[in-house]
Amino acid sequence: MVSLISSRLSLFSRPSTTFIRFARLISMESFSSHGVVPDVISVAPKALCTIKYDSGVEVSEGNVLTPTQVKNAPSVKWNGDNNKLYTLIMTDPDAPSRAEPKYREWHHWLVSNIPGQDLAKGDVLSAYVGSGPPPKTGLHRYIFLIYEQKGRIEDKEHGIVNHRLTNTSADNRGGWKAAKFVEKHGLGVPVAGNFYQVMCIVLNTMTTFPSSTSNSVQLKLRPL
């Protein structure tokens, strides 16, 4: 009797394969609902990667963050095989704005030949640049994509490790296409991904003069 009860309870404690697949479909739906599919990729990633910043924030399928929270390169984790190489892409398809993306895409980070999940040992083709959308351009999407490589990538057209794009260089970052890079190197469908959004916020000050002798200052955040 006890074993029968235990076996039945285990059915509830362990999610079924169907449930796991359903949960993944719900999760990956965010890539379509936010337009990442088809603006950047044609198929959603197979899984979510975990992205954490030293400011304490974590990327979560389109959550809205601030430029100061994402100014430094984050840690990125996914279910990587130590015997395989991976490419990481971070790109903004909303340059200069989502309404008029004439510079789509502006890539912020590009690292290839990453062994397993050891990002520090990968070849940095474009150094990390934080999010800084211009005023009056609304929310920008910043998409992280992880691809499994078939072999080592040598991309002299884009740059090599000793001639990489630094975090102070905007050369060739705009008008770049993740899909073209993926096709060029036969990377296929992303094995993992995630994304967040950022909007430029201007701090307005409005000084009021109450009846008291001291002045008070009201601060208002105005999204642009």
Distances (CA, A) of 52 to 12, 59, 71, 76, 79: 31, 6, 12, 7, 15
Instruction: Specify the pTM.
Output: 0.77
DSSP symbol at 204? E
Q: Please answer whether residues 148 and 109 qualify as being in contact, where contact means their C-beta atoms are separated by less than 8 angstroms.
A: no
- The alpha helices in 51-131, defined as continuous H runs, are none
Amino acid at 14: R
Instruction: Give pLDDT tens digits for 14-35.
Output: 555 443 444 454 457 899 999 9
Q: Give the per-residue pLDDT at 27.
A: 56
Q: Is the pLDDT of residue 69 over 60?
A: yes
70: Cβ–Cβ under 8 A, 6 or more apart, which residues? 53, 55, 57, 130, 131, 142, 196, 198
With bands split at pLDDT 50, 70 and 90, how would you rate the model's confidence at 159? low
The mean-pLDDT minimum among 49-63, 102-116, 145-159, 166-180 falls in 166-180
Mean pLDDT of 101-120: 94
Q: Please answer whether residues 47 and 79 qualify as being in contact, where contact means their C-beta atoms are separated by less than 8 angstroms.
A: yes
The mean-pLDDT minimum among 127-136, 157-166, 202-211 falls in 202-211
With bands split at pLDDT 50, 70 and 90, how would you rate the model's confidence at 201? confident
49: Cβ–Cβ under 8 A, 6 or more apart, which residues? 76, 77, 78, 144, 146, 192, 193, 194
11-15: long-range pairs with CB below 8 Å, 24+ = none
Give the span between the Cα atoms of 56 and 58, in whole angstroms.
Answer: 7
Q: Give the per-residue pLDDT at 148.
A: 98
Q: Give the per-residue pLDDT at 103.
A: 87
Higher local confidence (pLDDT), 134 or 141: 141
Mean pLDDT of 139-158: 91
